[in-house]
Every structure is written in C-alpha cells, then in structure tokens.
Amino acid sequence: MAPTKKGILERLDAGELVIGDGGFVFALEKRGYVKAGPWTPEAAAEHPEAVRQLHREFLRAGSNVMQTFTFYASDDKLENRGHTQRFTGQQINEAACDLAREVANEGDALVAGGVSQTPSYLSCKSADDVKAIFKKQIDVFVQKNVDFLIAEYFEHVEEAEWAVQVLKTSGKPVAATLCIGPEGDLNGISPGDCAVRLVKAGAKIVGVNCHFDPETCVKTVKLMKEGVEKAGLKAHYMSQPLAYHTPDCNRQGFIDLPEFPFSLEPRILTRWDMQKYAREAFNAGIRYIGGCCGFEPYHIRAVAEELAPERGLLPPGSEKHGTWGSGLDMHTKPWVRARARRDYWEKLKPASGRPFSPAMSAPDSWGVTKGHADLMQQKEATSQEWKTLQLSLKKSNAHL
Amino acid sequence: MAPTKKGILERLDAGELVIGDGGFVFALEKRGYVKAGPWTPEAAAEHPEAVRQLHREFLRAGSNVMQTFTFYASDDKLENRGHTQRFTGQQINEAACDLAREVANEGDALVAGGVSQTPSYLSCKSADDVKAIFKKQIDVFVQKNVDFLIAEYFEHVEEAEWAVQVLKTSGKPVAATLCIGPEGDLNGISPGDCAVRLVKAGAKIVGVNCHFDPETCVKTVKLMKEGVEKAGLKAHYMSQPLAYHTPDCNRQGFIDLPEFPFSLEPRILTRWDMQKYAREAFNAGIRYIGGCCGFEPYHIRAVAEELAPERGLLPPGSEKHGTWGSGLDMHTKPWVRARARRDYWEKLKPASGRPFSPAMSAPDSWGVTKGHADLMQQKEATSQEWKTLQLSLKKSNAHL
Amino acid sequence: MAPTKKGILERLDAGELVIGDGGFVFALEKRGYVKAGPWTPEAAAEHPEAVRQLHREFLRAGSNVMQTFTFYASDDKLENRGHTQRFTGQQINEAACDLAREVANEGDALVAGGVSQTPSYLSCKSADDVKAIFKKQIDVFVQKNVDFLIAEYFEHVEEAEWAVQVLKTSGKPVAATLCIGPEGDLNGISPGDCAVRLVKAGAKIVGVNCHFDPETCVKTVKLMKEGVEKAGLKAHYMSQPLAYHTPDCNRQGFIDLPEFPFSLEPRILTRWDMQKYAREAFNAGIRYIGGCCGFEPYHIRAVAEELAPERGLLPPGSEKHGTWGSGLDMHTKPWVRARARRDYWEKLKPASGRPFSPAMSAPDSWGVTKGHADLMQQKEATSQEWKTLQLSLKKSNAHL
Amino acid sequence: MAPTKKGILERLDAGELVIGDGGFVFALEKRGYVKAGPWTPEAAAEHPEAVRQLHREFLRAGSNVMQTFTFYASDDKLENRGHTQRFTGQQINEAACDLAREVANEGDALVAGGVSQTPSYLSCKSADDVKAIFKKQIDVFVQKNVDFLIAEYFEHVEEAEWAVQVLKTSGKPVAATLCIGPEGDLNGISPGDCAVRLVKAGAKIVGVNCHFDPETCVKTVKLMKEGVEKAGLKAHYMSQPLAYHTPDCNRQGFIDLPEFPFSLEPRILTRWDMQKYAREAFNAGIRYIGGCCGFEPYHIRAVAEELAPERGLLPPGSEKHGTWGSGLDMHTKPWVRARARRDYWEKLKPASGRPFSPAMSAPDSWGVTKGHADLMQQKEATSQEWKTLQLSLKKSNAHL
C-alpha cells in the first residue's frame, strides 16, 4: 500500500497540507506507559497495544504522519536510564517502526523516523561521537524503510546540524525542528539564523517543536521563514507546539515553569484554542502542522477540522464530533443545546475554577547549556548530584 | 479466574478499599470514539479495541471495578440519538459486558453493569414504563453474569429508587449513586434523605457520581452517611466525582458552567489534587473510591498511590510513576530533578497561563427538572425546539 | 443651626435614609496622619486641618453623620501606644468633637460620638473597669453635646453590651455595631442573638461595621434583623462595611487576610460596587448606610447617588460627578466617551493587572479571643512578645 | 524663605535626588473636587482648601516639587468644558500658583508651573495658534515667579517641542515629559528620538509621565537616556508614572483599558510596589522621581522611604509610618504583629478578592492621533458626535 502514497516532499511541493501527530511521551505518561523523568519509549516494545492504539487515534484524528515512538531512544540515553536490561535500543527502535507502519497502512499516513538531542552532546562529546549515536538509530529506520526522517527537540542548533548531516546520508527527506522560541537557541542564535543553518545542512523542512505554546511557536517559525527567505534559500515549514499555554515562559520554555511536568493541567489548550492555532499556522505559511507534549487526539482533530476547507475533507474522527460544538444540538439540557455554535465557544474565556492560583508563574531562571557540569549525566554521578542540589535549593527557599 | 475473586460486598464488609474506574464517555470523547451531545456508548460495539484499551489502562492504574461501558445505553436514549440503525441496544450492552469481563480477568477487578437516568423519566412516563427500560438492560447484565450492578447518574432520587428496585430483582449486589451536591436532588430532597430512600429500596452501597468536584462529592457523601446512620440503617459508601474543579457550581452541577463540555480544560485536577481527594474520601469513611467525567488513568493511579499504605500494594501502573514525583530524579535538567519531592507538589498552586480568564464562572441559573417541556425529548421535536431557544438566547444576550 | 436639625431617631422613625461616613483611620493613614499598627486618632489634636478636610469631603459626598474621630481614643489604648506624652485622651476626644461639629454645621449632618473595644476587655479586666474606660470618653461627648452615640467595632457582644449600658446613661440615642460576620461574634454567638442582646441593653440602632465586605455585612445585618423581629423587639439597622472585597475571609474578618493592612489595594471596591451595596442594604431594610475602613469620599458619594431617588436629592459632591459615568461625555477620546453609560460600568469585571496574583487568599487561621495571653497588652510585654512570636512563625514557615 | 532654596538644576547637577508629587486630577476626583471627563482644575479657585491640603500631604510625604494644579487649564480646554462662566483660565492659573507657593514655603519644595497638550493641536491648529495658548499660561507662571516649568502629558513629541520652545522664553529651567511607552509617541517616533528632540528644543530634564505603570515608564526613560547619550547630548531624567499596574496596555496607555477611569481600583499599586519602582528608577539613572494619576500621598512617601539612604533623611510623613511595616509591632493581634517585616511584604502576591475578574484586560484598539475628525472638539459638535458613536458601538458590540 505504501508505494502508492505520495511522499512528504511531493505533498508539500504540491501545496498540500500535512497534519502531524501529537507527542507520545506525555500522552502515554497519562495512560500509564511512560515514566516522567526518564521519558524513554520502551513501551514500544513493552506495551505495543497501547502505542498502537495511540497511533490509531491520531490517524483517526487526521494525522498524515505517524512518528515512530523513538524519542530519547538513543543508546546513551537508555543506558543512563537503566532500560537496557529489558530491551536494547535496537529492539525499541524496531518495534516503534513496525507499530507506526502498521497503523500508517490503515490510512493516508506516512512513517517518520525521529531522532532527538543526546546526553552525549550536553556532555561535550565530539561531533563524531554524537553523530555515531544518530547513525545507530538511523540504521534501523533505513532497514525498516520509513518514509522520511525528523531531527527534533534540539536546544542547540549545532547538534541539530550534526543530526541533519547524518540523516541525509540515508537518502530520505529530512525535516528538522528545534525546541526554541523567538529568542533563539540556548546560545542565543536567532531563529532565522538557525533555520538557515539547518537548510544549508540539508533539511528540506524546518521549524520548531515542543517547549512553547502554539502562539509562540508560530511566531518563531515566522522568524525562521523570514531568515530563510532573506538568505535566498527555500524550505518548507513545520510547527509542533505544546498543548499548554505558556505566556510566562523564558527562553528555556515550559521546563522552567514551576508546574512542569505534573501540574500543567490548567494550561491545557481547548479544542477551540487549537483551531485558532491551526488557522494562524496556516496563515503564516506553515504547511506541516502538528503537535507535541500535551496534545491528545482531539487536539489534532481540531486542527484537521479547522483546515477541512483547505484539505477538502474532514478526518475520520469527526464522525464523533460536530464542528464547532454542533453535536450539542442532541444534548439533553436545552441550555446546553444553545451552546451548539461557533460564536459561543470562540468567545468564551474559560475559568480555571482555581481561585487560589495565579494566572501566570515566574519561571525558574535557569539558562544552563551544553557543557554545564550538572548536565554531564554520567550514570554514576546523577543521583548524588541532584540530592546535593535539592538540599541547597531547599535551603535557599527556606524564607519563601 | 473470576470465580475465585471476592465479591464487592465481601470486600467492603471486610473493610477493604475498592478503587473504581474513571468516566469513559469523556475519556473516549477526547480519543475520538464518543460524540459529545448524544454521549452514547456505541463504541463498545463499533470500536472495541479503543474501549478495551481504556479498561486496561484503568486496570493498570489500580481499578478494582470495570464498569460496563453502557452509559445511556437504554433503547429510548439510543433511539433518540439515531444510533439504532447500526447497533441495537442489546448489541451494545452485550459487547460492553464482554469487554469489561475480558479485561477484568487480566487482574483483580470485578465487572459492574450500569444503568443511568432515562429520557422516559424526564418525559413523565409511568414508573412501569421507566422500569421496563431498566429491565431490558439488566436482562443482558444477568445473562452476561456481571458481578454487581450500579444505578448511577440520577438527578431525581425517585427514578433512582425505581432503578434500584428493578436491579435488586437480579439477585446481584446493587450500588446506587446520584449526581447531586450538598443541596440535594433536583426536587430539593437532602442527601441524607436520598440515601435513606436508596438504602430502603435495596441498595447496599450508596453515594454520588459526576456533576461536582471531589471536595463537593465527599461533602455530599458525608451528608448521606449521616442521614443513613441517623435513620439506624447500614450501608457502604462510594464517590465517583468529576476530575474538574467546580467551586462555582450551583445545584445543577458542571452542566450549568459556561465551560461545559468543551472548555473545561483549565479545571482539570492534577494528580496531587487527586491524592488529596483519595485521602479525604478515605477519612470520610468512603471505601469505594473512583471517578467520573474528566478522569484519566493517571488520576485513578494517583488515588491508588495515595491509598497504597491502606491497600498494601501499589498498582501495576506505578511501575511508570515515581510516587510524589520521585521519577524526576532522572530528569535531564537539575532544577527539574529538584522537584522530585512531595513538599514541592503538594504546595504548588498551578498557574493557568490564561491571564484573560477569570478564576470562576457564573453558572447558568437553570433549575429545570422532570416534566419540563424542553426536556420531553420526542425525537421529532428536539432539533426544532433548540433552534428556537438558541435564537431567543442570542437575542437576550445581545447587550452583553 | 444644630437645634433646628432633626435627630437621628426622628429621621429613622420617619423612614428617612441616613448616610454614614467612611472610616477615618485608613483614609488618614494613606494621607499621612495615622500610623498603622497603633491606629490611634491623635491627628484630631495634632493635625486638625487634615481631619477637618476629610470630614468636609464626606459631607460633600452626602454623609448625614460626622463621627468624631475618636477610634481607639480610650486612655488604656493611648497609653499602650505611647501617645499620651503629647496629648491626653481628653484633649484628643475634645478636639475630635469640635472638628466634627464645625463641619456638621456646614450641612445637614449630625455629630456622633464613638467608642470602640478596649484592650482592658481583652485583658480580662472586670466589667466595672471596662465601663469606667467608656465613661471617661462619654463625659467628653456629653460635655461637647454630640447628637448621638455609637458603640462600634466590638468582636465580643458582651463588651458591646457593657458599652451600650454606659452610653445610654447619657440620655442620648445609642447605636451599636459589632465587627462580625454571619458566623457571629468571636464566642460564636449568632448575629440574631447578638442583636437581641444589644437592643435589650438599650441600643436603638444595631448593625455591623468593619471586618467584612458590603455583601457579607448586609447578609449579617439581615440575620440580626430576623433575630430582633423573632424576639418581638424593634430596632433600626445600620451597616458600615469595608470598602474591600473579602470573599475569602473566615470569622476573624480581613485582619486575618495576608494582605492586611498594607496590600489590600486590589480588593478596593469601585464606585459601582458601592452602588450595588447601597441598593442591597436598602432592600434589606437597612436605613443607616455608611462605611468603614477603605472608604474614600467617592465611595460614600456612590451610595448617595444610588439612593438619590429615595432621598430626593443628590449630594453636593455630585456637582463633580456624572451619574453612572455620564461625565465622560466630555472626555477627549471618543471611545472613552462611549463608556458614559450605566450598562458599561455595571457589567464590567475589572482586571487586576496582576497576572502573578491569585483571586483569593487563604486567611490565617487564628481565632484568638478575649483572655488569650498574646492579647494581654501590658505595655512592657508587647514588644518582647511579638519578637518571639515572629521568630517562631519564621521557623514554621521555613518550608513554605 | 524661597530665595535660599537651591533651584531644580542646582539640585540635579549636584547629584541630588528630587522627589516629585502625585497626580492631582485623580486624587481630587476621589475627594469630590474634580470631574472625570473634563478633568479640569477649577478647584484651585473654587475649593482652595482641598487643593492646599493635598499639596501639604505630598509635602509631608517627601515631595520636593509642588506642581501648580493647572492641568488642562488652557483657555481652549476650559471653554470646551464650560467652566469659563465661573472662573477665567487666568484666575485658575493664578490661584493654583498661590496655593503651590504657600505650601512649598512650608518645607523644602520648589514650585513648578505645568502646561499640557491642547485640544488646539489635536484639531490641527497652526504652530503659532498652539504656542499662543501656552504663552498665555506661561505669562501667569512668570508673573507668579514659579521656580521652573514642566511641559507634561504630550502624546505627540511635535507639540511638546512647541511647548518647550515657548517655555524656555521665560528664562526658567524647563522639564518635558511625554505620556508614551517603549513604542514611542503616537506617530511612532521612538523614545530615544523624542528625547533628543526635546533636549534640542531646550529641555534640561526629559522623561515620561502618566499612561503607563512604573515598570513601563522606567523602561521608556531608559530608552530616552540611551537616545540622548548616543546623540552626544546631556540631560537629567524624570519619571512620573501611574499608580496602576498596566501590563496589558497597548501604545495608547491606560486610556484604552476597559477599566479607565472608573474601575481601575484592582490595579492600584501597593506601597511596596512603589518602593520597587523607586529603586528601579534610581538604578536606571533617573533622579527626578515622582508620580501621576492614582498616586496618593502614601505612594510618594514610599518612594521617599525607599530612597531615604540616598537622600539621608526620611520624609515628615514617616512619623506616621514604620518602614517596611514595622509599625505593626504595635498591632493588637499577634499574628499581625508578625507581619512587621520587609520579607513578608516584599514577597506577598496580593489577592484581588475578585474571583470573577481576569488578571488582564484586552485594551480597545484605538490608535487615533492628531487630526482625527473625532478629536476635533468644536464645542458645539462634541455632544452630538459621541452619541452617534455610542450608538454604533452598541450595535457593534451586540454579539459580544
């Protein structure tokens, strides 16, 4: 079936919209298959039915891409986290490819193999060492014949460039996204300059993912687009933001918010917020529109519904959703039926039901980057180190 | 396997804790398998893999009860909503029983067959007519040999009494929950009086579900307990609240909040809120502790983790969750590792990230009850009626 | 001029509305003449021009009563606070009477001499000792021939009764207000019972002042009225609430809010909130409607404007205020001119401009009453004692 | 006494701090002497005791400058507003000068004569016409021998330049402030460029006043300072911000906030916010630090207390204020005494007590400037015009 599908670049070159999927790590954490902290994807091998089901839900919601659930599935990361005893990195990567392909075959979706930033880079390993890590994952992707590759979730453009350089050796189309905002990467390199470097390294699609809310991400990709165009280059653009409102973030993104990762609930975007995102991303010239942490299938469906006029179709999952709340015309209570209209939902400012909570938080003011001693994650060092840190933090907060 | 399990009353009589599951309707709506508005459970027959997966996640999270996904699966409701063309009520009810049993067999869980309030009652049909509706569902439950029965989500204690009367003819243990708050049912009958009537009708377990947040539900069940004890009766108590903060609700519950049902996100409880709920419910003498709309598997896991000392075990899903955030000691960023402690999460007041939204909403002031013309849901009348209402509402809001 | 004026009871008996003034202590603290902490009124003798000016502003705003600025002007309080070196209690009380009379003579206002709760009562002095304190102040009021007397700001109805008993020996009409909410006085005596005891002690006007917002105060006076009527007694009713929103207070009132007294700004009522208060107080049968801490002259003017139809006149200060914002029709900006209408202001939910602040606070949970060791304010003990307390509080907050 | 005082430039040149006063228009509106809408200062002639008292309060609070209460006291404005029937512009300006001088003589304060933007400019009158307006006011200031002159509250730098050019003909030192934020004047001229033009026109002190909160104003003056220094020029810097939090303003400032001018209460800065402002202004190199609308005397006192170390003295009004709340050590309640410390107040995030209000507002999106038909305030046209506008606004808001 796959051979008959149009490839990612064919679609984008033809002006088609591509809808991405949502972040698996957070979604599966809530379902009980991923552990917050390590955030590793062993569930692909351990609980394939849960991963398959989530793929299927995103497919129903309108996703055209099934990303292999291989986030942080590099060997250096997995070792650090103690998961190699049960499954090798290769096993996890292979299982993830098989699941993505199985579900992609059920609809109009492509399979994308993904790599992300490595502990090795943060520990100042050499370019060759870091590239060797990527190469190992990519070997699996090539063997499993994924449709294209994504280098995603990079805080430093330099490491992303290295990843792109390795990925393009596969001969498959390469996309690259940084987890940065308008201020640029952690070394202060602007979104425009980052994008130019990624394009020059060989990425055909560039953009951002994770760390910031849709509004911020669209703004950042706009800056990338301006940079690429100013440099006389060409690219396609993608955005895969958080499903959390983050107006109060600094450069480090939602990681620095005090609510990360276990009290982000009040920040979750509604489906109507998502429709707004989809429209703004489209208007900004972004044609690969997906999501990251916090996205549930209904969020992607909202993106697909907003862009149904442009795509010429509703997603399968809309069988269970009346556009703009119109399904409420079958609700029991008449005053709820009266909410079955766009005007109502578009204007509503939803209350938090939390009168003791503020609207915004002050993020931690960490700006740590590559090479910082605390980020050298030698397996043996980790646990001691944070305990010391924790103690000193406790002391410094003693007067709060 | 099932024959060796202890029954629901054996457990409660022995002083054991029983952990319920969460609401399937809202969870599956977000996953793309239930339509908001009709809220009917045809997915049991239509997409069994999705329903099975959700059962399994709750089981992993610690649930001791798999409720059959048969909410609103009475024939009068299904007809109203146009679903009978594809599946009969009997087919849906049977499929739901099979799925619940299949997953219950994978762990230490019982199967509970559930019935809920009917359009027939709101349309003032006779007691016999309403009871006949319940009887039809129960016939399936008996044939499928569920372990016990729950009459849940009743706004009028009278209808709940009728349901209990029918349910107890099965010979199986009967639980009954109303969707009411401390002000009592929609006719103003107090929680204490409601509980007494349900116990007298034959319910062995009484309590509340849906419509209000955990704090309100625990308060209401306390009032029920006081009423039952004052009347010299005996019962077990259960609570299955929303996973939404609703400090601003009136008697009608979250249905009347302007955010219902599509903008409730900022109200979602965190896992820490859930631990607080579990402790408060336990302290109030409630021994059947579960959830309703808004609950995701991780919410039930939080209940199970809070009560792990009392139960003597952690749920299977805790393999992927460090108690009180301790899994964060393996996070990359050291300042996030410093959050791996109970003190941090218990005290945090999470920001909403929504500076243009208030903390509370003013609920609609509807108090419509049984017999109101707008609630007579003759299939043919529904769509016309709400359009007229909507128009008049639009007019009356014109100056807002 | 004074002889020709109708007395307070003549007015109330005739069904007339009486508009009180606002609290001088907070208003003059902001102007630089009262010290927060001691809260004593030596400014009457020290800076008479500032006190006179504030009287005059309330008169212009519509007040029918000039309360002598004698709050906490009992000798035991003044001594505690170290003010006797410059002015005796008698000098302060006399100066305050003269100022109130001077301004009252400029318009249609009466002079009310006020006494409030004493440190002696909190230190468990005898009824005779406490009454002797009141007697000393009243001697001045009688000599200065004030028009009536108010016993105000009592947390314990017992002490208020003693005050009323002393006040009525003057032969002048006596009003009495407690600083309590719907839960009753600090000993838990209900508002209804409190009111009955005050009426029986000789008060012709009873009600509440300070400690709670208008909504709470009106609710409390309603309970007083119900109590008095149920007891077959008769009285007039008054309310002099805070100009601060206090939905989050416990029994102790705004003293326990963490914002007291230096960060209450975000809670200040708007003029429109005040019009609502005036209407609700009127509808509750309250005919003496004034204010306490936080009230500025424009707040009293708002009360007078709301009740202008009932009183048949606007206050002099309305020469500088268009009702419901109508003065804005002369604003430079046309979009501000468009706000010159009741509808606009009545519906506005004003933003706080404080995205890092919550909507509500958790009050301190102190419930200390008469006789508590910490409240025995022997001059010599005070400073040592609080330092110890402060240290221990710091310690107990160390983990916050 | 005045002759022996150091002039404004002597002070600033010597590196001394100069503390300004607060805005009289808003303060006297609350006291009942200024009408919101016209905002004219006839009270100087009509109610001199009220104006004198406010001057005195600011003097006690630490102000070194008594600004004549002559805001909007140009003849074209007064005529528009119908005040000339009782007092001529000249009478008002003269009375204001006398009051300011009388109180300045009571302490270490100078008198500053102020002019502000004119309706004539907005109506596109010629430079000569506009200058003639300023000349008339300045003639009074010269005759009354004020100590220096301030051109303040200009939205267009061009009009401010004209004002400065006229003011410097007096031979007195000239200060000039615009009511702009970091985005610049209403024509988009940057703060830096504005400041350069004002210095070149002859202003020795430049800065901003009104329209924005302290944080925004300090930021804007910093940009002015950078501009002036980059141009190789020299100047002193001043800021006189609002006492309202305005994080949500656009270029037009607080005028465009829906709360302006009658529901700004929740935005009022606390005294601790003011201490923060004073420190930040000082650190930014601003040496003339005062306030504008919303400032009460205690706000200026907070500025003076924060800068007491630098000035070497506390203001007279601190006789009634314990620094950082230390006066609370004499409060009756021990838990309030425990708040007598800097740490407590500096960290407190004060609740609004308004759970139905948001943290921020969406400002009106007006950006109207000079020459817009709606701003041509021909006396005869005004009232008709706004009624039409109001109607159309009502219509366009009908669906909100």
B194 belongs to an annotated ligand binding site: no
Query: In chain A, whose CA is at the least distance from the CA of C363?
Result: A356
- Fold type of domain B2-347: TIM Barrel (3.20.20)
C217 belongs to an annotated ligand binding site: no
Integer angstrom CA distances of residue D211 from B251, C170, D182, D295, D297: 45, 54, 12, 13, 19
Q: Answer yes or no: is pLDDT of D1 > 60.
A: no
Of D50, D262, D375, the CB nearest to C332: D375
User: Which one, of A239, A291, A248, A251, lies nearest residue A267 by Cα?
Assistant: A248
Handedness of CA A43, A46, A47, A49 (dihedral sign): positive
D chain contacts of residue A343, beta-carbon cutoff 8 Å: 399
Q: In whole angstroms, what is the distance from residue A37 CA to residue C389 CA?
A: 41
D chain contacts of residue B248, beta-carbon cutoff 8 Å: 355
Region of residue B209 (left: phi > 0; alpha: psi -120 to 50; beta: else): beta
Query: In chain D, whose CA is at the least distance from the CA of A346?
Result: D400
Q: How confident is the model at residue D72 (pLDDT cuts 50, 70, 90)?
A: confident
**Is D187 in contact with D161 (CB distance < 8 Å)?**
no
- Whether A399 contacts chain C with CB within 8 A: yes
Query: In chain A, whose CA is at the least distance from the CA of B55?
Result: A31
Q: What is the pLDDT of residues D191-202, one digit of tens each?
A: 999 999 999 999
Handedness of CA C149, C151, C157, C163 (dihedral sign): negative
More confident residue, B264 or B369: B264
More confident residue, A354 or B371: A354
Contact D337 C390 (CB under 8 A): yes
Q: What is the pLDDT of residues A49-59, one digit of tens each?
A: 999 999 999 99
C292 belongs to an annotated ligand binding site: yes
Assembly ipTM: 0.92
3-state secondary structure chain C: CHHHCCCHHHHHHCCCCEECCCCHHHHHHHHCCCCCCCCCCCHHHHCHHHHHHHHHHHHHHCCCEEECCCCCCCHHHHHHHCCCCCCCHHHHHHHHHHHHHHHHCCCCCEEEEEEECCHHHHCCCCHHHHHHHHHHHHHHHHHCCCCEEEEEEECCHHHHHHHHHHHHHHCCCEEEEECCECCECCCCCCHHHHHHHHHHHCCCEEEEECCCCHHHHHHHHHHHHHHHHHCCCCCEEEEECCCECCCCCCCCHHHHCCCCCCCCHHHECCHHHHHHHHHHHHHCCCCEECCCCCCCHHHHHHHHHHCHHHHCCCCHHHHHCCHHHHHHHHCCCHHHHCCCCHHHHHHCCCCCCCCCCECCCCCCCCCCCCCCHHHCCCHHHHHHHHHHHHHHHHHHCCCC
Contact D399 A359 (CB under 8 A): no
What letter represents residue B101's amino acid? R
Number of Cβ pairs < 8 A linking chain B and chain D? 26
**ω into residue B261 within 30 of 0, thus cis?**
yes
More confident residue, A21 or C40: A21
Q: In whole angstroms, what is the distance from residue B347 CA to residue D213 CA?
A: 31
Please name the helix (run of DSSP H) or strand (run of DSSP E) that holds residue A308, with its range, or none. Answer: helix A308-311
B chain contacts of residue C399, beta-carbon cutoff 8 Å: 343
- Whether C251 contacts chain D with CB within 8 A: no
More confident residue, D252 or A4: D252
Contact C356 A358 (CB under 8 A): yes
Q: What is the pLDDT of residues B106-147, one digit of tens each?
A: 999 999 999 999 989 988 999 999 999 999 989 999 999 999
Q: Answer yes or no: is pLDDT of A335 > 90.
A: no
Average confidence (pLDDT) over D196-217:
98
Q: Answer yes or no: is pLDDT of D129 > 60.
A: yes
Residue A72: predicted pLDDT:
74
Q: What is the pLDDT of residues A216-243, one digit of tens each?
A: 999 999 999 999 999 999 999 999 999 9
Q: How confident is the model at residue D380 (pLDDT cuts 50, 70, 90)?
A: very low
Contact B355 D355 (CB under 8 A): no
A chain contacts of residue D347, beta-carbon cutoff 8 Å: 400
Half-sphere exposure of residue B152: CA atoms within 13 angstroms, side-chain side:
29
DSSP state of D71: T
Contact B360 D355 (CB under 8 A): yes
What's the CATH superfamily of A2-323? Answer: Homocysteine-binding-like domain (3.20.20.330)
Q: How confident is the model at residue A332 (pLDDT cuts 50, 70, 90)?
A: confident
**Is A266 in contact with B266 (CB distance < 8 Å)?**
yes
D chain contacts of residue A258, beta-carbon cutoff 8 Å: none
Q: How confident is the model at residue B387 (pLDDT cuts 50, 70, 90)?
A: very low
Among A245, A257, A356, A393, most C C-beta atoms within 10 A, so best to mutate, is A356
Subunits in contact with chain A (3 or more CB pairs closer than 8 Å): B, C, D
More confident residue, D28 or D382: D28
Integer angstrom CA distances of residue C97 from C113, C131, C137, D28: 7, 21, 11, 26
- Whether C356 contacts chain A with CB within 8 A: yes
B chain contacts of residue A321, beta-carbon cutoff 8 Å: 32, 35-36
What letter represents residue D39's amino acid? W
Say what percent of chain A tops pLDDT 90.
78
Contact A270 B263 (CB under 8 A): yes
Domain positions in chain A are 2-323
Residue B119: predicted pLDDT:
87
* Nearest chain A CA: its distance from D371 CA (Å): 34
Residue D400: predicted pLDDT:
35
Number of Cβ pairs < 8 A linking chain A and chain B? 318
Residue A179: predicted pLDDT:
97
Q: A233 φ, ψ to 5°? A: -105, 175
Query: In chain D, whose CA is at the least distance from the CA of A353?
Result: D355
pTM of the model: 0.90
- Whether B378 contacts chain A with CB within 8 A: no
- Whether C359 contacts chain B with CB within 8 A: yes
**C-contacting residues in B 333-352 (Cβ below 8 Å):** 343, 347, 349
Q: How confident is the model at residue D332 (pLDDT cuts 50, 70, 90)?
A: confident
Q: What is the pLDDT of residues D83-119, one digit of tens each?
A: 556 888 899 999 999 999 999 999 999 999 999 999 8
DSSP secondary structure string for all residues of D28-62: HHHHTSS-TTT---THHHH-HHHHHHHHHHHHHHT
Query: In chain C, whose CA is at the least distance from the CA of D62?
Result: C32
Q: Answer yes or no: is pLDDT of B369 > 90.
A: no
More confident residue, B388 or A222: A222
Please name the helix (run of DSSP H) or strand (run of DSSP E) that holds residue A283, with its range, or none. Answer: helix A271-283
Task: Report the mean per-residue pLDDT for chain B.
Answer: 90
Residue B394: predicted pLDDT:
41
Q: How confident is the model at residue B370 (pLDDT cuts 50, 70, 90)?
A: low
Of A356, A362, A398, the CB nearest to C358: A356
Mapped onto helix, strand or coil, the DSSP state of residue B74 is coil
Among C246, C352, C360, most A C-beta atoms within 10 A, so best to mutate, is C360
Residue D80: predicted pLDDT:
62
**Which residues of chain C are modeled with pLDDT < 70?**
1-3, 77, 79-85, 365-400
* Nearest chain D CA: its distance from B346 CA (Å): 19
Q: How confident is the model at residue B366 (pLDDT cuts 50, 70, 90)?
A: low
Contact B350 A264 (CB under 8 A): yes
Integer angstrom CA distances of residue A28 from A22, A35, B320, C73: 11, 9, 10, 67
- Which two three-digit tokens encode residue B255? 């249905």
Q: What is the pLDDT of residues C172-231, one digit of tens each?
A: 999 999 999 999 999 999 999 999 999 999 999 999 999 999 999 999 999 999 999 999
Q: What is the largest CA-CA distance in chain C?
A: 66
**Is B206 in contact with B195 (CB distance < 8 Å)?**
yes
Q: What is the pLDDT of residues A246-292, one digit of tens each?
A: 999 999 899 999 999 999 999 999 999 999 999 999 999 999 999 99
* Nearest chain A CA: its distance from C112 CA (Å): 40
Average confidence (pLDDT) over D167-189:
97
Residue B364: predicted pLDDT:
76
